């Protein structure tokens, strides 16, 4: 995925389809919505066009480590949040059930 900054307004048939300072994200091609039809611009054409400036996207370095048995058993305070769509009456029932179950489990 590559990101580009539009350096000047781009017009097709007298209609501005991309505005200056707008950014677009391109994988293989970018489809420009233009009435009465859409126009597809392949990445190779965008790279050649001076009206587009590529914006570098910083690489993400994700490091995954496996927890030891000691780390797995370490006791900490955790927050559990649950979003549900229900009535207040049913919510109280759910809350009571969770409280009882957690108390027995912990």
Residue 106: per-residue pLDDT: 77
Q: Is the pTM of this model over 0.75?
A: no
Contacts of 106 (CB under 8 A, 6+ apart): none
**Measuring CA to CA, how many Å separate 85 from each of 53, 64, 101?**
46, 34, 21
The H or E element that residue 39 is part of is: strand 37-42
pLDDT digits (tens, 9 = 90+) for 68-96: 999 988 988 888 888 889 999 999 999 99
Q: What is the dihedral of CA 15, 20, 22, 25, to 10 degrees?
A: 80
Residue 90: per-residue pLDDT: 92
Distance of alpha carbon 58 from its chain centroid, rounded? 15
């Amino acid at each position: 995925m590559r990101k580009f900054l539009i350096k000047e307004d781009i017009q097709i048939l007298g209609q501005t389809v991309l505005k200056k300072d707008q950014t677009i994200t391109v994988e293989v091609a970018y489809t420009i919505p233009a009435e009465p039809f859409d126009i597809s611009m392949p990445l190779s054409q965008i790279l050649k066009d001076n009206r587009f400036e590529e914006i570098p996207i910083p690489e993400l370095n994700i490091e995954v480590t496996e927890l030891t048995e000691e780390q797995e058993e370490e006791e900490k305070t955790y927050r559990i949040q649950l979003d549900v769509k229900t009535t207040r009456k049913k919510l109280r029932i759910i809350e009571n059930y969770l409280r009882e179950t957690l108390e027995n489990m912990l």
